[in-house]
């Protein structure tokens, strides 16, 4: 069964599908993150690859809600080093470009570069590679794309500026989604959780203390509104697990304190 991704060949999601599932990975390409989740949820894809956070631009907040609403589970993760390049039809120069389009997350990662080229209007596109393909197919003389070397190669564009992300070392973390929970063959060393705490004084401090008491290292905590209850928040927490029994104990205590816990996935950390 195919793997659902957002974007087309040459996009960063496609690169992750190749890295994780091999060069011949059978992919279903979608325009939006919502469609990835729907495809995994309705069984037309066995797994999905979804970007969740970037080291420069931060979290893709709406994706937490998307995976939760579709009732999906996280099977694993993949960190991809991201190099963004400004590209256009061969022969053009940066001064010729009026518009540069790309995925909104890619644009956010290249703000400093474009501050130096204020004549360029930045516009959101579906994914990095789709914009490169559009330029190539429509022979757009005034438009540039921010995308990977691979996209320039596939769609025959020329790179005008390399590595234009604000800091050289740039990573996007992707999660691998599935319809059912799956425990890895080895003891997991990372978990992604959603915790809804009772809205009372000190509740978050008490929650964090439980994790600290069990030696759990939280690698991420993100608050997301509980839309049915205005101004109540759920916390999406990633924790590293060095001792699985201490992790189990922490979950028991968190639940025991009256909080609601949902386990999105327990897996092996791939952080480089």
Ligand X SMILES: O=C(O)C(=O)C[C@]1(C(=O)O)C=C[C@@H](O)C=C1
Positions annotated as catalytic residues are 172, 174
> CB of 205: closest distance to ligand X in angstroms?
32
Compare residues 11 and 75 and give the one whose CB is closer to ligand X: 11
Buried residues in 17-31 as b, exposed as e (16+ CB within 10 A) = bbebbeeebebbbbe
Residues paired with residue 87 on neighbouring β-strands, in sequence order: 145, 159
| By the rule CB under 6 A, 67 interacts with ligand X | no
Compare residues 143 and 214 and give the one whose CB is closer to ligand X: 143
| By the rule CB under 6 A, 54 interacts with ligand X | yes
| By the rule CB under 6 A, 82 interacts with ligand X | yes
124-163 footprint of ligand X as x/- string (CB under 6 A): ---xxx----------------------------------
| By the rule CB under 6 A, 122 interacts with ligand X | no
Q: Which residues, 6+ apart, have CB-to-CB distance to 125 below 8 Å? A: 101, 102, 103, 131, 134, 145
Q: Residue 195 is inside which H or E element, if any? A: strand 190-196
- Residue by residue, DSSP assigns 231-265 as T-EEEEEEEE-S-HHHHHHHHHHHHHTT-EEEEEE
Compare residues 82 and 152 and give the one whose CB is closer to ligand X: 82
> CB of 241: closest distance to ligand X in angstroms?
26
Measure the CA–CA gap between 225 and 247, rounded to whole angstroms: 25
| By the rule CB under 6 A, 11 interacts with ligand X | yes
* Residues of this chain that bind ligand X (CB under 6 A): 7, 11-13, 51, 54, 82, 103, 105-106, 127-129, 172
């Amino acid at each position: 069964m195919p793997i659902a991704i957002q974007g087309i060949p040459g996009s960063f999601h496609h690169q992750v599908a190749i890295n994780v599932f091999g060069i011949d990975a059978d992919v279903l390409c979608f325009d939006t993150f919502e469609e990835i989740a729907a495809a995994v949820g309705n069984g037309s894809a066995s797994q999905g690859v979804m970007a969740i956070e970037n080291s420069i631009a931060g979290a893709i907040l709406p994706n937490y809600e998307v995976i939760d609403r579709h009732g999906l589970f996280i099977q694993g993760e993949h960190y991809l080093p991201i190099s963004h390049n400004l590209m256009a039809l061969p022969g053009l120069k940066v001064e010729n470009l009026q518009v540069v389009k790309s995925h909104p997350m890619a644009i956010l990662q290249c703000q400093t570069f474009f501050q130096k080229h204020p004549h360029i209007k930045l516009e959101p596109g579906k994914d990095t590679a789709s914009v490169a393909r559009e330029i190539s197919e429509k022979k757009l003389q005034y438009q540039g794309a921010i995308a990977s070397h691979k996209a320039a190669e596939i769609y025959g564009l020329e790179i005008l500026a390399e590595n234009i992300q604000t800091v050289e070392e740039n990573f996007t973390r992707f999660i691998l989604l599935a319809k059912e929970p799956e425990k890895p063959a080895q003891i997991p060393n990372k978990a992604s959780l959603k915790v809804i705490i009772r809205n009372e004084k000190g509740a978050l401090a008490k929650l964090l203390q439980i994790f600290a008491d069990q030696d759990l290292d939280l690698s991420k905590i993100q608050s997301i509104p509980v839309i049915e209850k205005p101004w109540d928040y759920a916390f999406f927490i990633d924790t590293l697990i060095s001792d699985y029994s201490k992790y189990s104990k922490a979950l028991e205590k968190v639940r025991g304190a009256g909080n609601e816990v949902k386990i999105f996935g327990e897996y092996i950390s791939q952080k480089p």
